[in-house]
Amino acid sequence: MNIRIALAGNPNSGKTTLFNALTGSNQFVGNWPGVTVEKKEGKLRRREGVTVTDLPGIYSLSPYTPEEVVARNYLTGERPDVILNIVDGTNLERNLYLTTQLTELGIPVVVAVNMIDVVRKSGDRIDIPELSRRLGCRVVEISAMKGIGLDEAVEEVLRAAESDKTQPVHRFSEPVEQALSAIEARAATGFPEAQRRWYALKLFERDEKILGKLQPDAAVAEAVEKEIQAVEQKLDDDSASIVINERYGYISDMIRHCYRKKNAGGLSISDKIDRVVTNRWAGLPIFAAVMFLVYYLSMVTVGTFATDWANDGLFGDGWHLLGIGSSAYEEAAEQYGDSDAIIQAYLSAYGNEELAAALDAESESYNAEAVGAALGELLNLVPADASVIYEVTDEETLAVTEYASGKTDLEAAVEAYLNTEYKAAPGAPTPEEYGVWVPGIPVLAANGLEAAGTPEWLDGLLLDGIIAGVGAVLGFVPQMLVLFLLLAFLESCGYLSRIAFVLDRVFRRFGLSGKSFIPMLVGSGCGVPGIMASRTIESERDRRMTIITTTFIPCGAKIPFISMIAGALFGNSPLVATSAYFIGLAAIIISGIMLKKTRMFAGDPAPFVMELPAYRLPTVGNVLRSMWERGWSFIKKAGTIILLSTIVIWFTSYFGVVDGSFRMLAEDELEYSILAAIGSGIAWIFAPLGWGTWQAAVASVTGLVAKENIVGTMGILYGAGGNVYASLAAAFTGISGFSFLVFNLLCAPCFAAIGAIRREMNSAKWTWFAIGYQCGFAYAVALMIYQFGLLFTGEVNVIGLVAALAVLAGILWLLFRPAGRRGLKKAVRTAS
Amino acid sequence: MPLTLAGIGEECRIKRVGGSPEMKKHLEALGFSVGGCVTVVHTLGGNVIVKVKESRIAVSREMAQNILV
């Protein structure tokens, strides 16, 4: 026995909770064909062969939002065996509007009155038998959250699927009914009996989608139109409104007979909360405080801790089990400080080869006694007034800092080196000695591969390609999970829709929705969860716009690269990083205004109409499930598209032709790689931006794997002379460096984020549009920066300047031209 | 008068729902039916939060002006 149940109901009626309760973990999440509306299916618990399809939350079956179209097409096209209609018992009247439409479809309907516990608690009473009689279908009371009445509901649904024929009981006024009969006889005889009335009603409402589907011939269409006009004249309203008003009339009558309310009116707790959180003065500060908390928890405290662990521990060198020993190790390491660098600096200034050999920790003859003797001799060789400069390189940004040191520093360093009080052997302390040290995946994999004796290329593919690439992406998972958890909480408790309301006026101005703020805020930590957070935006148009612009904000991975440029070319000016944020913000605003005037996004922003669900404490299960669904879809992405991309980048950067033979390259031979060849091939494209060198082009390409890779690549390509920053300063001018910075800031994000864009757009065309737009916009801005910058230094390049002026004029025109009116209707249609 | 002018807490009867046919239908599906009751719960710079048939709906000023009570 195969039974298909369709779960239908208003948004916020508890549909998701019911769906989760009915199906447990047997769920499959996908998309409805052609739209970005999520489709969920599941197998009913403890029953064989019963499938539950969760339809999107809808208010009616009219075809104006993508959700309604999806639901209606499914119900009329696939015709499930039974519809389980969940209605909010605390808001029966509005919810029954959909119910009366569902009962007209000729599919058995079972109505589940949800939140019955709340209804009972407030002293209200619902006359279930009477409601059932007036609706013409089975009615049960449930509480999806508390798990009340679910078994009974399932029983009723299965019984209805076997035997019932739901016939709508409600009748319209006499003129409408007469017209419906006439239309049914003229135009709907081709359908099974149970569906004729529905099609007749749709024709009466002049439903364009149904008209287009039926294609009645001219004579029939004319006869139908005549019937409609007769009724419209008689009742002095348009046919659709007549139907809607009579439907509500019937429902009000039904409510009067079935629903006994104990005390009417008064402000609910939700209303009182709303007075505060949407208050003109308090609204924005409260919102800022909530967002700060979300940001602080996910990006700074828990998130950073988790991401550090994932990046430096799991996908790095390793970590201390349960963190025991970490602080002791860090203390020891700090005490040890730069001792190695100081000793090395003096060794090269005053030492000799013999001493260097004795101090080589890698050598086989290395032993504590010889080291002690060698260091003692070094101290003897160094004059008392010696002063040597030593360098320390920052691992993240490759910044080199020089320190001056005297002989006393050397003495302290030697002591720290030899002191084994806080460590096992001479030299820097190692983390293994301070707790149970768990090696990271790369370390384990390297050891395993070494033991297995695998060929070098396989080692490289696995370690440098797959583990490094995918690991860099997966490292963000813990942080994302924390963030998704908090967002799921805000979403299901009802605050997110208030935020949208408060911010809507601000964001309307540049074509975005009030809900666009959250993706952007999140995107300042990592673009991937940022893009995924756009899912809470209902309007498809607003969502696409948000997805395209979110990654303009500098994410965490762009920070090392920004610091690198600032350090190498701008004397570590804090203005560089600040300007990066402002440029990102300006890019969003300018793009918003430009895009909303194009045909794709055209039209006035959809007027804001949105239900504010009553505040409620979400269930732990639902919040965790929502968090996991989003997190898992990202992890799956990392296993497919990101994996493939990193392998391609790895192959092209570690293989190449040296002296006429194709072979695998060492890390410092990047200049011979295929990637370098590609870089040289495309470098001319960037010449107008001021950095048409293959090195810069290659760095930008590797930035696609992960933006922090730009630093690593630059380190290899410009590191030959020893000091990366000095080589960078020689290769770039301030203007070309800034142009390079801005291009990489605004252009296509990393593969992980592109994967997220693909997932959220659910369309290859829109994904390419997003990437193309981002790269094009980045190119235009970088071009202007370089060419106008040259103008100030006096080295004007006439062709370039003309191009930059043309780009500027183009952008200004796109910004200030009057918006076309064509998209207006479309905008209204996509609004929900 | 348009809904924007209704006083807070005052229960009004909806006389007409205007706007584009699509928006009108959407509003009606949300519970703004002619003859039904609507109460303004809260306003924010012209935008209103109203109570319609037990649900709270946020409506922008442009939309609220199309709802006559």
Does residue B63 belong to the interface with chain A, where contact is any CB pair within 8 Å?
Answer: yes
Nearest to B30 among A274, A504, A611 (CB): A611
pLDDT along chain A (832 residues), means of 10: 89 88 79 68 87 90 78 89 93 92 91 92 89 92 90 92 79 89 83 85 86 81 88 87 88 88 71 84 84 76 73 74 72 75 77 73 71 76 78 73 78 74 68 74 80 79 75 71 82 83 77 78 77 76 89 82 84 83 90 83 69 86 82 71 75 82 76 85 90 87 80 74 77 90 91 85 90 94 92 83 91 80 43 40
For residue A98, the model assigns a pLDDT of 94
Nearest to A62 among B25, B53, B56 (CB): B25
Residues in chain A within 8 Å Cβ distance of B31: 93-94, 97
Does residue B16 belong to the interface with chain A, where contact is any CB pair within 8 Å?
Answer: no
Nearest-CA residue of chain B relative to A240?
Answer: B25
Total count of domains within chain B: 1
Q: How far apart are CA A352 and CA A528, in angstroms?
A: 53
Do A505 and B57 lie within an 8 Å CB cutoff? no
Nearest to A612 among B54, B58, B60 (CB): B58
In this structure, are residues A728 and A773 in contact, taking their beta carbons and an 8 Å threshold? no
Taking the CA of residue A10 and the nearest CA in chain B, the distance in Å comes to 10
Do B58 and A610 lie within an 8 Å CB cutoff? yes
* Cβ neighbours of A349 (radius 10 Å): 14
Q: Can you give the C-alpha Rg of chain A in angstroms?
A: 34
Nearest to A608 among B36, B51, B60 (CB): B60
Helix (H) or strand (E) run with residue A29 in it: strand A27-31
Residues in chain B within 8 Å Cβ distance of A611: 30, 55-58
Each domain of chain A, given as residue ranges in start order, spans 3-163, 174-260, 326-436
pLDDT tens digits along B33-69: 888 889 998 888 778 889 988 888 988 888 888 899 8
For residue A116, the model assigns a pLDDT of 92
Nearest-CA residue of chain A relative to B14?
Answer: A245
C-alpha angle A325/A327/A328, rounded to 5°?
65
Residues in chain A within 8 Å Cβ distance of B54: 90-94
For residue A822, the model assigns a pLDDT of 44
A517: helix, strand or coil: helix
Asked if the model's pLDDT at residue B10 lies above 70, the reply is yes
Nearest-CA residue of chain A relative to B42?
Answer: A275
Q: How far apart are CA A762 and CA A770, in angstroms?
A: 12
Our CA dihedral for B13, B19, B21, B26, rounded to 10 degrees, sits at -60
Do B63 and A609 lie within an 8 Å CB cutoff? yes
Taking the CA of residue A495 and the nearest CA in chain B, the distance in Å comes to 13
- Which site among B14, B37, B54 would you substitute to test the A interface, given the most A Cβ atoms closer than 10 Å to its Cβ? B54
Nearest to A829 among B22, B30, B55 (CB): B22
Residues in chain B within 8 Å Cβ distance of A240: 21, 25
For residue A101, the model assigns a pLDDT of 92
Tell the CATH topology of A3-163. Answer: Rossmann fold (3.40.50)
Nearest-CA residue of chain B relative to A270?
Answer: B56
Does residue B41 belong to the interface with chain A, where contact is any CB pair within 8 Å?
Answer: yes
Q: Can you give the C-alpha Rg of chain B in angstroms?
A: 10
Residues in chain B within 8 Å Cβ distance of A607: 19, 23, 59-60, 62-63
Do B45 and A280 lie within an 8 Å CB cutoff? yes
Does residue B59 belong to the interface with chain A, where contact is any CB pair within 8 Å?
Answer: yes
For residue A266, the model assigns a pLDDT of 63
Does residue B28 belong to the interface with chain A, where contact is any CB pair within 8 Å?
Answer: yes
- Which site among B11, B34, B37, B56 would you substitute to test the A interface, given the most A Cβ atoms closer than 10 Å to its Cβ? B56
Residues in chain A within 8 Å Cβ distance of B57: 609-612
Do A93 and B54 lie within an 8 Å CB cutoff? yes
For residue A143, the model assigns a pLDDT of 93
More confident residue, B27 or A302: B27
* Three-class HEC string of A314-359: HCCCEEEHHHCCHHHHHHHHHHHCCHHHHHHHHHHHHCCHHHHHHC
Does residue B68 belong to the interface with chain A, where contact is any CB pair within 8 Å?
Answer: no
Give the residue numbers spanning the domain of B18. 3-68
Do B25 and A60 lie within an 8 Å CB cutoff? yes
Q: How far apart are CA A469 and CA A526, in angstroms?
A: 16
Do B30 and A275 lie within an 8 Å CB cutoff? no
Nearest-CA residue of chain B relative to A830?
Answer: B22
Counting one residue from chain A and one from chain B, the pairs whose CB atoms sit within 8 A come to: 117
Cβ contacts of A339 within 8 Å, gap of 6 or more: A412, A413, A414, A416, A417, A428
For residue A156, the model assigns a pLDDT of 92
For residue A831, the model assigns a pLDDT of 41
- Which site among B3, B60, B61 would you substitute to test the A interface, given the most A Cβ atoms closer than 10 Å to its Cβ? B60
Does residue B2 belong to the interface with chain A, where contact is any CB pair within 8 Å?
Answer: no
Helix (H) or strand (E) run with residue A48 in it: none
Cβ contacts of A170 within 8 Å, gap of 6 or more: A100, A134, A136, A247, A250
Do B44 and A244 lie within an 8 Å CB cutoff? no
Residues in chain A within 8 Å Cβ distance of B51: 271
Q: What is the DSSP letter of A74?
A: I
* Three-class HEC string of A246-267: HHHHHHHHHHHHHEECCCCCCC
Taking the CA of residue A829 and the nearest CA in chain B, the distance in Å comes to 7
Taking the CA of residue B2 and the nearest CA in chain A, the distance in Å comes to 16
Tell the CATH topology of A174-260. Answer: Helix Hairpins (1.10.287)
Does residue B40 belong to the interface with chain A, where contact is any CB pair within 8 Å?
Answer: no
C-alpha angle A352/A355/A360, rounded to 5°?
120
Taking the CA of residue B28 and the nearest CA in chain A, the distance in Å comes to 7
Do A274 and B62 lie within an 8 Å CB cutoff? no
Cβ contacts of B49 within 8 Å, gap of 6 or more: A274, A278, A501, A612, B40, B41, B42, B43, B56, B57, B58, B59
For residue A423, the model assigns a pLDDT of 65
Do A609 and B57 lie within an 8 Å CB cutoff? yes
CATH number at residue B23: 2.30.30.90
For residue A421, the model assigns a pLDDT of 66
Q: Name the pTM for this structure.
A: 0.75
For residue A825, the model assigns a pLDDT of 42
Q: What is the DSSP letter of A819?
A: P
Handedness of CA A308, A310, A316, A317 (dihedral sign): positive
Do A502 and B44 lie within an 8 Å CB cutoff? yes
Helices (H), A103-192: 116-121, 128-135, 150-163, 174-187
Nearest-CA residue of chain A relative to B58?
Answer: A610
Do A240 and B25 lie within an 8 Å CB cutoff? yes
Residues in chain B within 8 Å Cβ distance of A280: 44-45
Q: How far apart are CA A555 and CA A479, in angstroms?
A: 13
Nearest to B41 among A241, A248, A274 (CB): A274
Q: How far apart are CA B20 and CA A238, in angstroms?
A: 13
- Which site among A72, A94, A513 would you substitute to test the B interface, given the most B Cβ atoms closer than 10 Å to its Cβ? A94
- Which site among A124, A244, A245, A247 would you substitute to test the B interface, given the most B Cβ atoms closer than 10 Å to its Cβ? A244
